[in-house]
């Protein structure tokens, strides 16, 4: 497919000019001019390197902060942890001074990665647990509800299909702030109905206050993804299942959903990641205590707010909290890519 766009090394060599006696830079420039393909290759490598460095460097630097001992925090360099022996080197002509590392830092350690779980500081593992629970429940709810809706929109013809689909689309346009004031009031109200289930009858400080709004807000994306997948299952398979004696719902969950497994996985992975990553409702619907189901972000902000100078703990907690999604991205990158593009293209 792309062979014709990238001539092999043999092709490049043949178009090279014979070796005239030139300076290094001049020779390189001459080769670029005589063979533009080569210039494009060079540009490609430069661009790739640039994007790799800009996207990954912040994580590397976070690690540097996390392993720096607390006393050396103000000494952290761009590439080296605090406490590294450095020597000032002045670059001639430019008059810039650079601190070049001259040795290995002595005291770097991973203590911060243990201290973040200290119950006397911030029990970060409980916050992570809350986040996992909320994200898992939201994913299950979204997958079930979106499966029903995706089946209807993808496979059934009925009056009002297009207006209803438009309504789903429109709700995903609005900012969460547009729903916040009434929802906040609703979730803080003490409802008699809920008294037997919840202590004071209000949803504030319960996982419901986070996963109900989030399930609804991320429902449209899953509906659009599942709709496309369910629509592709041949009519005959569903009919065959019906002839075998299953109900229409049985056919949906026994035939269509299993056959659309990649689509369901895509919707599931995306919902899990977006709920885990969400900020708005996650930060506003609890009082940020882990006993009250506050998610991961509340724990992380505790390091930032209460303990102003524990930068190493902030960095360590960030690395721990980012690991689950990073692993998900590495394992399921095809699904994430196809899901994001399918969702957007549909709409």
Region 135-194 residues binding other proteins, contact defined as CB under 8 A: 144-146, 148-149, 151-152, 156-159, 161, 164, 167-168, 171, 173-186
What is the nearest approach in angstroms of other proteins to the Cβ of residue 291? 20
H or E element that contains 97: strand 96-101
Residue 211 binding other proteins, by CB under 8 A? no
Rounded CA-CA distance 194/215 in Å is: 20
Closer residue to other proteins in complex, CB, 2/199: 2
Binding positions for other proteins, 74-93, rule CB under 8 A: 74, 76-78, 82
Residue 11 binding other proteins, by CB under 8 A? no
266, 336 Cβ separation under 8 angstroms: yes
Burial 29-56 (b: 16+ CB within 10 A, else e): eebbeebeebeeeeeeeeeeeeeeeeee
Residue range at the interface with other proteins (CB under 8 A); choices 198-206, 255-263, 286-294, 329-337: 329-337
Residue range at the interface with other proteins (CB under 8 A); choices 87-95, 200-208, 213-221, 230-238: 213-221
Residues facing 96 on adjacent strands: 91
CA nearest neighbour of 275 among 116, 140, 126 = 140
Residue range at the interface with other proteins (CB under 8 A); choices 16-24, 231-239, 255-263, 279-287: 279-287
For the CA atoms of 133, 134, 136, 140, the dihedral, rounded to the nearest 10 degrees, stands at: 130
Q: Which of 48, 109, 190, 306 binds other proteins (CB under 8 A)?
A: 48
Both tokens of 209, joined, read: 């206050």
User: If DSSP codes are grouped into helix, strand and coil, which group holds residue 88?
Assistant: strand
Give the x-and-dash track for 287-326 against other proteins (CB under 8 A). ---------xx--xx--x----x-x--xx--x--xx--xx
What is the nearest approach in angstroms of other proteins to the Cβ of residue 18? 26
Closer residue to other proteins in complex, CB, 22/247: 247
Residue 12 binding other proteins, by CB under 8 A? no
CB atoms within 10 A of CB 68: 27
CB atoms within 10 A of CB 114: 10
Residues that contact other proteins, how many (by CB under 8 A)? 101
Both tokens of 211, joined, read: 């996963």
Q: Which of 28, 279, 289, 306 binds other proteins (CB under 8 A)?
A: 279
CB atoms within 10 A of CB 288: 17
Query: CB neighbours of 168 closer than 8 A, spacing ≥ 6?
Result: 149, 219, 220, 223
What is the nearest approach in angstroms of other proteins to the Cβ of residue 160? 8
Closer residue to other proteins in complex, CB, 26/122: 122
Closer residue to other proteins in complex, CB, 18/182: 182
Closer residue to other proteins in complex, CB, 110/323: 323
- Give the CB-side neighbour count of residue 1, counting CA atoms within 13 A: 0
Closer residue to other proteins in complex, CB, 5/14: 5
288, 297 Cβ separation under 8 angstroms: no
Give the x-and-dash track for 250-269 against other proteins (CB under 8 A). x-------------------
Binding positions for other proteins, 217-256, rule CB under 8 A: 217, 219-220, 223, 247-250
Rounded CA-CA distance 244/236 in Å is: 12
What is the nearest approach in angstroms of other proteins to the Cβ of residue 279? 3
DSSP per position, 205-235: TSTHHHHHHHHHHHHHHHHHHHHHHHHTS-H
Closer residue to other proteins in complex, CB, 291/333: 333
Residue 21 binding other proteins, by CB under 8 A? no
């Amino acid at each position: 497919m792309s062979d014709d766009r990238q001539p092999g090394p043999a092709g490049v060599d043949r178009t090279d000019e014979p070796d005239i006696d030139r300076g290094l830079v001049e020779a390189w420039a001459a080769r670029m001019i005589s063979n533009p393909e080569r210039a494009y290759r060079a540009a490609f490598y430069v661009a790739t390197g640039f994007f790799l460095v800009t996207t990954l460097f912040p994580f590397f630097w976070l690690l540097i902060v996390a392993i720096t001992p607390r006393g050396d925090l103000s000494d952290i360099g761009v590439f080296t942890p605090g406490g590294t022996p450095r020597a000032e080197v002045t670059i001639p002509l430019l008059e810039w001074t650079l601190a070049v590392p001259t040795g290995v830092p002595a005291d770097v350690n991973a203590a911060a990665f243990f201290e973040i779980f200290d119950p006397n500081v911030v029990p970060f593992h409980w916050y992570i647990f809350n986040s996992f629970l909320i994200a898992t429940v939201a994913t299950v709810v979204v997958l079930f509800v979106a499966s029903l809706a995706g089946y209807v929109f993808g496979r059934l013809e009925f009056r009002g299909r297009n207006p209803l689909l438009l309504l789903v689309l429109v709700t995903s346009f609005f900012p969460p702030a547009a729903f916040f004031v009434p929802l906040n009031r609703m979730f803080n109200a003490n409802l008699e109905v809920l008294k037997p289930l919840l202590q004071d009858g209000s949803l504030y400080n319960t996982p419901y206050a986070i996963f109900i709004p989030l399930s609804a807000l991320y429902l449209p994306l899953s509906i659009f993804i599942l709709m496309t997948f369910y629509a592709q299952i041949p009519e005959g398979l569903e009919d065959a299942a019906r002839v075998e004696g299953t109900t229409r719902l049985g056919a949906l969950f026994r035939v269509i959903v299993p056959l659309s497994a990649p689509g369901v996985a895509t919707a599931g992975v995306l919902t899990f990641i977006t709920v885990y990553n969400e900020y708005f409702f996650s930060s506003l619907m609890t009082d940020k205590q882990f006993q009250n189901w506050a998610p991961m972000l509340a724990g992380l902000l505790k390091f930032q707010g209460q303990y102003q100078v524990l930068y190493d703990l902030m960095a360590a907690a960030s690395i721990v909290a980012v690991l689950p999604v990073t692993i998900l991205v590495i394992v399921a990158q095809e699904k994430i890519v196809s899901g994001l593009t399918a969702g957007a293209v549909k709409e």
